[in-house]
Chain A
Amino acid sequence: MSNQSVREFKDWLAFIIGGACVILAMIPLISILVDVILRGLPALNLEFLTTGPGVIGQPGGGIANSIEGSLILVGLTCLMGVPLGLISGIFLSEFGDNKYGRFIRFLNDVLSEFPSIVVGILAYSFVVLLVGSFSTIAGAIALSIIMMPIVTRATEESLKLVPSTIRDAAAALGIKKWRSTLSVVLSTGRNGVVTGVLLAVARVAGETAPLLLTVLGSQLFFSGLTKPVDALPLRIYRLALLPYASAQQQGWGAALVLIAIVLTLNVGVRLATRGRMSSVRS
């Protein structure tokens, strides 16, 4: 075999190995989707989605309280995490070209890859111990700490894509900087910001570890901000570890509901903004 064909063979081999890596990496995703759908579908029915948990170990009962808890938690999280992340992101994009800005951006990147259970300890030590019990509000605070850096980064990246001519045009009309940032720049970069927020919502909706230390989980429906509440991921965790087949099947059912929510958000956002926001990482 000539030197040239050896080199071409290596080129071909590298292509095959690369393709094999991609396919190998796809197997878990496909298996997860197939298993969650096949095992979760039999558990799904109206009762499962509309009633609270039944007797442990017996068939029957549902996950309505967990769905409700998750919705409340995510809603409260957005109330706190989105404004904070949004304004930080605006700051970094518009005024962050200095030492302080670089420092904040660096910390933001560090925090966005942070172990979520440590955030749970933080919320536990401050909120749970202050309130005196595991509570919804503690969970929402923990989740908003996780959400904030994601929103900040997405906001910064999408505002940076806004052409500077738009800022100049606003300035030429005599519009104050703060006014043009809020009404011109932000609304031009709106799509990217919304994308980032939705991806952050998808992320916190599936977050479990900090909830273990903050909202604890509950068999009951929501009964107040300072009371424990249930959440979908927590319920999946608890059901999966129960030694009853019916409970495990309910766990798969809950997983199907959760993954449907999370993937709908992700795929929906990607389809809606295809090709435009490749720089936003979830």
Chain B
Amino acid sequence: MRLNRDVLLGLIVLAMLLGVASISPAFIAPGNLATLFNDNAMLIMVALGQMCVILTKCIDLSVGANIAFTGVIVALINAHAPALPIPLLMLIAAGIGLALGAFNGALVWLARIPPIVVTLGTLSIYRGLAFIASGGTSIVSKQMSHAFVAWPRLPIAGLPLMSWFAIVAVALFALLLNYTRLGRAFFAVGGNPVAAVYTGIDVGRTQFIAFCVSGTVAGFCGYLWASRYTIAYVDLAGGFELDVIAACVIGGVSISGGSGTVFGTLLGALFFGIVKNALPVIHVSPFWQLAISGAAILGAVVINAVRENRRPGRLILKEAVAT
């Protein structure tokens, strides 16, 4: 019997929660679970954007740098013009993110440079620009307006606005990927690019749009990040791109494109978040965190590989390749 992968991962996440709860029951108190979700809201959002990119056989390594640059710019704007309304600032953040994502996408689409090379380059460039923009200094909480810091914490129906953003993002991405032409195009481009061309899908353009989506989400999270940690500086979200890709991989998004689910990615991000939050509760040194996430990625990858059926086209080669 083959269990649905998402269900399996869901059960693992549940088992982890219960396991931690058996040591410290307070861990699964509703309040703590809400905090846990809120802590991982940005990871969930950026992972969903990344998922679109990975679906189209690309990869976006620049999301962490995008967050840093956008966070610094938005914080600087706020420091100089505290009166500017926050929703407008959010729009600006998303707009900057969109521009950075579009730059990645244009290089992939028009210059035909492999996405890993493009985003490896822009990863350095965006973070360097964040340094230049900030002049190497940090924009700290006393420079930020009260509203800038308060908005993501605004409680609505018991949950902070930050969590609602993540919930809305999950809903929007589920709609986008399951019920729109563009969503189907993401899957088609990654699943079989040649077939996608014959069905009239512009592969390069679709990949470009995927990068725009990922960039926009990352930019929006740039504001959230600066606001949540009440600081904006060059190392903001350093290495975050790897957490994001790990969340996708654990969530069952195939790195070779064309397969993945919103629910899986959500679970992948939560899995990551639970590991991070649970370690101190079960009295394990936080220094174990990196090793455990590495092992989790490897485990997920191997489980994916073992469960995944070989593509029919390759079956004829199975014996030859297995030598």
**A and B associate in one complex:** no
Question: Interface of B with A (CB < 8 Å)?
Answer: none
Question: Interface of A with B (CB < 8 Å)?
Answer: none
